[in-house]
Amino acid sequence: MGLFGRKNSSTATLDTAAPVEVDPAPAALSGTYTIDPAHSSIGFTVRHAMVTNVRGSFTEHEGTLTLDGANPGASAASIDVKIASIDTGIADRDAHLRSGDFFDAERFPVMSFRSTEAEALGGDKYRIIGDLTIKDVTRPLAIDLEFNGSATDPYGNQRIGFEGGAEILRSDWGLTWNAALETGGVMVSDKVKLTFDISAIKAA
């Protein structure tokens, strides 16, 4: 039914067993939403030593979504991510990622995405296209998203949810550090998978 034609089950909940109200008319979903970092995640997966994956996330981020119920293609997104918040579960690795070999977090503390267009792909699937800036490099990025629904939470907040992902080559943004392996190949793959799980609250 699409982004502005879907209603949630009244049994959905958020951190509590209290009931959640069914959405009002689809047009009511139009508006500006603030991403809720406590219930959202921005993560990544990268191949390590050719044989396994390292997964991590950025724990500090903020952003807004603007939804247009009459014209979903006019919707927009803006996200800022604090590089220093990178977390792969190993402190030494995180410190290396923050260093000049990778993100150089001291000089470039924020990674940002600003959308330039949006596209409905059918059903609850969408693509948002924009500019991703890492360090001092800005390049286009397309993110495929699925609309998970909307609900009024037990605190009276109207929420929407999306999840999705994208793939990038880190070298396109100047992240080129690597180390050769004795058995052939390199320590860190160029390809990085990005994942997004977003919950956002409608502005009053």
Mean of the pLDDT values across residues 177-188? 92
> Quick one: pLDDT at residue 70?
77
pLDDT at 166 > cutoff 50 = yes
pLDDT at position 27, please? 63
Q: Is residue 154 scored above 60 in pLDDT?
A: yes
Question: Which residues have CB under 8 Å from 133's CB, separation 6+?
Answer: 111, 112, 113, 114
Helix intervals (H) in 117-191: none
β-pairing verdict for 158-169 and 86-87 = unpaired
Does the pLDDT at position 10 exceed 60?
Answer: no
The tokens of 106 are what?
């001291």
pLDDT band at 50 (very low <50, low <70, confident <90, very high): confident
The chain-wide mean pLDDT, for the chain, equals 88
pTM assigned to the model? 0.85
Residue range 130-139: mean pLDDT, rounded: 98
In sequence order, the 6+-apart residues with CB closer than 8 A to the CB of 46 are: 53, 54, 170, 188, 189, 191, 192, 193
Q: Distance between CA atoms of 162 and 56, rounded to whole angstroms?
A: 19
Confidence of residue 120 (pLDDT cuts 50, 70, 90): confident
